[in-house]
Amino acid sequence: MIKKGLITCSVIWVTVVISVLSVYAKTEPKKSVKRNTEYKFIYPKNYRSSNFSFADESVPVNDIRVTRKMKHSLVKTSYSTVQSYVLQEEAAKIFPIIVPVLKANGIPEDFKYLPLVEAGLKSGVSKAGAAGWWQFMPGTARTYGLKVNGDRDDRYSVRKSTIAACKYIKELYAEFHSWTLAAAAYNVGEIKMEKALRSQREARANYFRMHFNPETGSYLYRIIAMKQVIEQPELYGYKINKQSLIANLEPTDLMAFDN
């Protein structure tokens, strides 16, 4: 009788345990399944292209770090932030002078946006002594054929400074074999670029995979954002037609501007 009682109690106890476990299993929340996420750029409404690029070198569209930095640069360049048409006005003045020089020297046209990033919203000389649209230091300017003295400063001539910039950019491209790296090196300097490439071999000489100081790290993003805003201003809050600005400038205006 005692054995039967024990067996009966054991059966009841096992049944209770199974019932409790069954109820717990039904009420336990399901664990979320981790899925691979493909990150894409957050485009403006009705955006017609996903081709963010510089000099035909594409920007990665499946990297959350790149996406975040690109979006930040687009916001900073939009009309809601700038609250001015100065960028379009400056582009209308200097592009007709810069583009033919770039073309004659075999430099991709996208480099025309560098002066807008370098000096588009600045005036005068930087704290380091760089000046002009291409922000040349006095010594570097003289190295590439510009006159900088008390009577004359060719850094402020759009045409002459662009010719000098082309010489420097071609040297950078010959060294780094990439237009994006050449542009970044224009900002950070070839010595620091060489050092970055040596210390970041895993980046495979790709600007968007590398790490730089904050200014150089955002440099290409700012240029590409500038390109987007100038080429498709209406998508970023601007209400003007960039072609009309350029068309309204007479050759005499350009000659006077490029002293």
- CATH number for the domain that contains residue 235: 1.10.530.10
Helix, strand, or coil (residue 107): coil
Tokens of 150: 């008390």
**Residue 120: DSSP 8-state:** T
Output Rg (C-alpha) for the chain, integer angstroms: 29
Fill in the amino acid letter for 184.
A
Most confident of 62-71, 172-181, 201-210: 172-181
Q: What domain count does the chain have?
A: 1
Fill in the amino acid letter for 43.
Y
Q: Is residue 45 part of a domain?
A: no
CA distance 195 to 248: 46
Q: Is residue 41 part of a domain?
A: no
Q: Is residue 107 part of a domain?
A: yes
Identify the domain containing residue 107 by its residue range: 53-257
In the chain, what percentage of residues exceed pLDDT 70?
A: 69
CA distance 20 to 236: 60
CA distance 123 to 121: 7
Nearest to 65 by CA among 224, 218, 228: 218
Q: Is residue 127 part of a domain?
A: yes
Q: Is residue 17 part of a domain?
A: no
**Residue 131: DSSP 8-state:** B
Q: Is residue 219 part of a domain?
A: yes
Nearest to 238 by CA among 78, 72, 45: 78
Q: Is residue 16 part of a domain?
A: no
**Cβ(169)–Cβ(186) below 8 Å:** yes
CA distance 91 to 216: 22
CA 106 to chain centre: 22
Fill in the amino acid letter for 225.
A
Q: Is residue 97 part of a domain?
A: yes
In the block, residue with structure tokens 């081709």? 51
pLDDT tens-digit readout, 82-132: 888 888 888 998 999 999 999 999 999 999 999 999 887 565 677 778 999
Mean pLDDT on 125-141: 88
